Structure 1
Amino acid sequence: MHVYQILLSLSVIRYVVADNPTANVSSGTLVGRSVEFSHEDVDITRTLYVFKGIPYAAPPVGDLRFRPPQQVEPWEGVYNATEVGFACVQSISPLYSFGELLNEDCLYLNVFAPVTNSSNLPVMVWIHGGGLIVGSGTNGGLYDGTVLAAIGEVIVVSFNYRLGVFGFFATGDKHAPGNYGLLDQIAALKWVKENIAAFGGDANKVTIFGESAGSISVEHMLLSPMSEGLFHRAIMQSGTSSIFGGPRVDAEGQATLAYGIGNMLGCEQDNTEDLVRCLRTVPTEDFEPILNPEEGMLATIPGIDPDIGINPYAPYFDGQLITVVPSDLRNPGTLNKTGVDILIGANADEGTLLFPYVVPFQFNATEITLSRAVFEQYFSAFMFGSFKSNPTILDAIKLTYVPWEDADSDDANYAEAFSQMQGDHTFVCPSDLSARAYAQSGANVYVYHMTHIPATWLTGLPWTKAGHGEDLPFVFGLHFSPVYTWTMPAEEVAMSRNIIRYWTNFAKTGNPNLPESEANSSLADWPRFEVPGLEYKELSLTMENKRALKARECALWNDFIPKVENREDEETATEPNEGDNGKPPECTAGAIHAAGVTVYCICALLLLPSLLVMPASPEYIL
């Protein structure tokens, strides 16, 4: 029995009377804790009021499963907001096993508010990562907001949202439209807008920020008409909505997946209404085969590609919350929040995230060696998009990344080529696409690229270098954290303080630089990203400014490959089929978008969009 199998009769509302800070919110009175922050490596001592485990929506259980979040019922007395609430039910992963109890009743948030003379502090709302299948708002202290709030003098809010099958199950129609996890995020932002003044926050100065799947979520919030007016700035760390081809678009394929999942859970129905009604009665613990499948089990569900693994719980193009697909970012007028300031970037070695899938897991290695044979074997295995079978495009990718100066040598190491290829394809160049789109729409955009290789790695594996997620200890100031044990050398302590300043300055003003009245020569000015210009900040010990980040590589992924695909699609669409009197093939789905490019002719045997997701494992932290 897993920890999420908790009796729902356990009360999560605890009434207390204590000499601690209180706040009056829309549902009643909260009592939190007073925390004193200080650290020998920072010249700040500050009191914070911390409130944890605040319900921002009704428990999404029973008949509310697979429905949008509902309003919290008001409570009487004082609600004890001193402990985190349940984390959402999720796949079991060692990286996210921080002792937090799991439950479907999980829609809770946390507020870290510095005590100052100001009654209108900027607010930073954190959206956690984890591939939309694991994680929580605090992750056992990794995302504790104490340091950011104390050093940056901002209010930090973190929250849980529904994950996996509970957050993204969809039938492709009105009976289960999906995206409940994203709707939870919108509900949390509405709660902030309505209640943050009770903590000294300014509802008109809200910044959303997230990493990996949290950053993907941030861009969905940026592009969704449903989040209009709920935030004013956005920080995207290693993730965009175009990763893995973007949201699913195939309603028929989504229904096939839904029926397959229903069959696995004993809900064999012949229509989606009855299917969803049945699934709402399935006990939480019976979802175990879906949450933590045995090897190969998900491949038995109709609609799952056994070769690449398709995540059944991805965002779905519902036409209401999600109305934009990745290729739309290339079209002027797509963005509906041009007044939002943007800070966006990725890390220099994002592609090392995939090394455990192509080489034996090497805990003690300091460097990974990848032979040419292994490189060829896995060359396209972790790419999304129909171009995986296009020899012209694959040759162009090899031409760009293969170390040709050593390629003829039997002992040539292809590890860096593989890492950079995958990192650019999945993180760096999608971020470049978004940055250009926002800048050209008139938004205030700042771009970063973290190149510093930390002294200590979140994974504990030195060959990850400046890998996926390695910016998190610097952003959350783990070296200064009162709840998370982490030590940095002196030069990294300074780097972390600078990054905290950049992030919180941006939250305050829309500009990561210090105001002129607080100018600090040790903190180099961060230039605005413009097209042309293409200037960005390198997150390193020296914080240098550079330009044209991966311009050649991103021209390959963002321009050349889509053009080749579109050209071949157009040529195919004009070729007559034999026995069809010279007429082009008839299309039943019209012009839709799939796999990150426009596909103009989708016929009856439409495949599911290629959304590549690795198994839930210690190494996979999207």
Structure 2
Amino acid sequence: MKLLLILLFTSYVRAEDPVFHSNIGKFYGKLLEFEDGSKVDAFYGVPFAKAPIGELRFEKPEDAEYVEERDAKALAPICPQPDYGWGMDKNEDCLYVNIFRPHAKPKQNYPILFFIHGGAFQGGSSFEVTTNHTAEHFSAMHQVTTVFPQYRLGIFGFGSTNSADFPGNYGLWDLQKALQFVHKNGDELYGNVNQITVGGYSAGAAATGALTYSEHTRDMFKQSIQFSGSIFAEWALSERSVVYTQKVIDLLQCNVKNVKQCLKSKSTEDLKTASIRAHDATGDINSFDYTPRLDGDFFTTDVPDLVAKAPPKPSLMSLTEHEGLFFTLYFPRHIEIFHHSLNDTEREDYDREDFLQFASEVIVPRKLFNDKHDEIVDKIAKFYLSDEEKAKDNPHYYIDARGKLLGDVMFNIPQLMELEKRRENGWQLYHLLSTHNDYFEAKAPHVEILTSTHTFEFYYLFGHGYLGHHEFTEEDYIYKKLLLDAVINFIKTGSPKSDENPNFVQIDAQNPLTYTELSTRATVKKPLFEEEMRFWKELLESYEFDVIRGIHKETKKIRNEL
């Protein structure tokens, strides 16, 4: 009798749960209900690949195994990464997707959003975007199936010895495998696999670019969205992973005939500890040790060449008003992967000499330019301090200039160069610039400069932000609606414009830097960062080292090798 009651209870509970009939078995999720009565089927921690452990570590992912029935009601562990204080379980067994599916089965399948988290390829997880806010605003209100994948990070995802046996880019292959899973299960996701939008923010945006160009993934989706990130940036595509993998090999005494087998024999903690010990980014603008690289496989040639070969896709790209401010004032100093945020003492008296030192030692170190070094630093100073008389009335003038320089090198110029290369090859392009400031004025009134910066759109898209809870103002609601409507319209139609909000203009040869500024209104403007683009193009043409991509044009050596 006791066993019968247990079976009846289990059957009753599962009868109330949404079911996802996948190619690897049934998943029982959670039914989310919202105030307006709308419903969403939520499936958390659905595996799309075997656990990349043991002999599968440092290998391309393999399909997940079939299991008749599984619960999908709890978030899976996140991939191993530095401790950011999130309190999440970390495990190499982390290749899972979270799914929000509109509850009502449609006559015609819904568009799919496949959205990739950021974190500099060193950290982050899908839980950041797997929120009830996302479920409500994308899946319940607008009938979009949303899929949020996790992918291997750090040395586990991007370690490499620059050999055919150990080429790296495993995190990108994870994303390919997750896309394959979506294709195999489109109907059960109520999703149209011919209407997939791949999107991401920061490193997720750079990964989106990688998927958009790679011959292995470029035909697996229709269009793309990139928030503040580009595969054209040094921090997103570099041979640095080879340098730092070798340091880990040395620390773990794996300089043996079969290096990879030796690394496979080490514990997760051994690899994490060695990666931390190997990390030394003093003086480098690119301090992210393990990122995508040109491997001859996922990337069969250099990225600009792949853009020309890839089928053009509708693309929505977005920046914030002051990208570099996040890495100047907000990025936590205790997190060792980035060393260039200013502490309270450094902010107090930050002056011209501090700015010049930053430019000279971090952006354009002498070892890269030798006898041309002083000349380049002088050009940077003249451009970024061109209105220096304002420093008399603005005590934060030089901090602001530092942030602008940082933002241009890491985000603005790489993204605009990527956009330009797409435009030259006939892509359908739209560009946004978010300038709304209420979030920072409310959450960080003590900060010297209150301007929209890297990832602040998170609160409006996904319902939470890195500065915590925020009570919306009337202006916040207006901006949120403009932003969400633009993104949803793009997912559904390939254009952000609508009858209600027509102020989005496609970029063309006559208007290459046209953009829509988003705040409490959507306003078409041009040109976006025109002077900055001109300055950096002239600088890159005049010298042998490409500061934006972080590579010597002739020798192809990276910063660390010069």
Q: Give me the TM-score of the superposition, normalised by structure 2.
A: 0.86
SS in 2 for 1:68: coil
The separation in 1 between residues aligned to 2:376 and 2:110, in whole angstroms, is 50
Out of 262, 267, 289, the residue aligned to residue 249 of structure 2 is 262
Deviations, residues 37-81 of structure 1 (Å, cap 9, x unaligned): 23xxxxx542111111000000000000000000111112x2101
Q: How many residues align?
A: 531
Partner of residue 312, structure 2: 339
Partner of residue 20, structure 2: 23
SS in 2 for 1:394: helix
For 1:507-546, list aligned pairs within 5 A: 507-514=491-498, 519-520=499-500, 523-533=501-511, 534-546=513-525
Shift in alpha-carbon separation, 1:600–1:51, aligned structure 2, 3 A:
closer
Query: 2:98 touches 2:130 (CA, 8 Å); kept in 1?
Result: no
The separation in 1 between residues aligned to 2:167 and 2:143, in whole angstroms, is 40
For 1:239-250, list aligned pairs within 5 A: 239-244=229-234, 247-249=237-239
The separation in 2 between residues aligned to 1:601 and 1:287, in whole angstroms, is 34
- 1:20 Cα shift? 0.8
- 1:140 Cα shift? 7.9
For 1:199-238, list aligned pairs within 5 A: 199-238=189-228
For 1:436-515, list aligned pairs within 5 A: 436-456=420-440, 460=444, 462=447, 463=449, 465-478=451-464, 485-514=469-498
Partner of residue 69, structure 1: 61
Partner of residue 293, structure 2: 316
Shift in alpha-carbon separation, 1:360–1:416, aligned structure 2, 3 A:
closer
- 1:306 Cα shift? 4.8
Shift in alpha-carbon separation, 1:50–1:396, aligned structure 2, 3 A:
same
Out of 84, 88, 93, the residue aligned to residue 79 of structure 2 is 88
Q: As a proportion of its length, which structure holds more helix? A: 2
1:375 aligns with 2:335: no
Residue type of the alignment partner of 2:41: Y
The separation in 2 between residues aligned to 1:310 and 1:222, in whole angstroms, is 25
The separation in 2 between residues aligned to 1:226 and 1:594, in whole angstroms, is 29
The separation in 1 between residues aligned to 2:426 and 2:65, in whole angstroms, is 42
Out of 407, 425, 433, the residue aligned to residue 423 of structure 1 is 407
Shift in alpha-carbon separation, 1:424–1:260, aligned structure 2, 3 A:
closer
- 1:360 Cα shift? 4.9
User: Relative to structure 2, which stretch is displaced further, 138-147 or 256-265?
Assistant: 138-147
Partner of residue 381, structure 2: 398
- 1:151 Cα shift? 2.8
Out of 276, 279, 285, the residue aligned to residue 298 of structure 1 is 279
Partner of residue 3, structure 2: none
Partner of residue 138, structure 1: 127
User: Relative to structure 2, which stretch is displaced further, 444-453 or 459-468?
Assistant: 459-468
Aligned Cα root-mean-square deviation (Å): 3.1
- 1:477 Cα shift? 4.4
Query: 2:51 touches 2:94 (CA, 8 Å); kept in 1?
Result: yes
- 1:187 Cα shift? 0.8
1:361 aligns with 2:343: yes
The separation in 1 between residues aligned to 2:504 and 2:243, in whole angstroms, is 49
Residue type of the alignment partner of 1:547: K
The separation in 2 between residues aligned to 1:322 and 1:396, in whole angstroms, is 34
Query: 1:403 touches 1:414 (CA, 8 Å); kept in 2?
Result: no
Query: 1:148 touches 1:476 (CA, 8 Å); kept in 2?
Result: no
SS in 2 for 1:414: helix
Higher relative contact order (CA 8 A, sep 6+): 1
Shift in alpha-carbon separation, 1:226–1:359, aligned structure 2, 3 A:
closer
Q: Percent identity?
A: 24
* Structure 1 gap segments, 5+ residues each: 1-13, 39-43, 300-304, 570-592, 612-622
Query: 1:450 touches 1:466 (CA, 8 Å); kept in 2?
Result: yes
SS in 1 for 2:477: helix
The separation in 2 between residues aligned to 1:114 and 1:448, in whole angstroms, is 28
Residue type of the alignment partner of 2:485: R
Shift in alpha-carbon separation, 1:599–1:346, aligned structure 2, 3 A:
same
1:106 aligns with 2:94: yes
User: Relative to structure 2, which stretch is displaced further, 52-61 or 339-348?
Assistant: 339-348
SS in 2 for 1:544: strand
- 1:142 Cα shift? 6.0
Partner of residue 581, structure 1: none
Shift in alpha-carbon separation, 1:339–1:601, aligned structure 2, 3 A:
closer
Query: 1:118 touches 1:200 (CA, 8 Å); kept in 2?
Result: no
